[in-house]
Amino acid sequence: MAMPMQVSLDEILSMLLARVDSLALSDENSKSKFNIITRALYKKGIITDEDVIDSIRKEHEMLKELGAIAEMPDDGMVAAIADNILQWIKGDVEALKKGMEEYEKKVQEAMSKQSQKPRIDVASPAVLQQLDRMGGKQGGGKLII
């Protein structure tokens, strides 16, 4: 009878991380290929700005019919999505850099607002038991400020 194979938790995690890395590389490779082909089609005039806008609308119509979204985005939102996609297709590096800087600024603002909010920390039961032992009492709770 064959002995069961034993695998450590570290080995399992290593295998999973290797698989995630492989999937991430594959995803980046697919994105690069898609970007290259889309830019070539745009340059040849096969894909137009209006095609991108129409495709965005069609995508959201399908998502709404499938129940994945509650409502269709308004024309302003569709235009913003199209602008972002077209900047990438056209290779507008300056506009992309500006957008990334604005996004980073918003993230930093949100993080600073989050850090200003009051925090509630909860001690683990082991820490509370240790405090009880130090205080000489058994049972009861402690509030630490």
User: Which range marks the domain in which residue 53 is found?
Assistant: 48-115
User: What pTM did the predictor assign?
Assistant: 0.59
Residues 105, 58: one domain? yes
Q: Are residues 72 and 109 in the same domain?
A: yes
Which DSSP letter does residue 44 get?
T
Asked whether the beta carbons of 89 and 38 are under 8 A apart, the reply is yes
- CA distance linking residue 48 with residue 42, whole number of Å: 6
Convert the pLDDT of each residue in 24-81 to its tens digit: 999 999 999 999 999 999 999 999 999 999 999 999 999 999 999 999 999 999 999 9
- pLDDT score recorded for residue 6: 80
Closest CA to 59 of 33, 85, 31, 78: 78
Q: Are 84 and 73 in contact (CB under 8 A)?
A: no
Q: Are residues 92 and 65 in the same domain?
A: yes
Asked if residue 138 is part of any domain, the answer here is no
Q: Same structural domain for residues 30 and 73? A: no
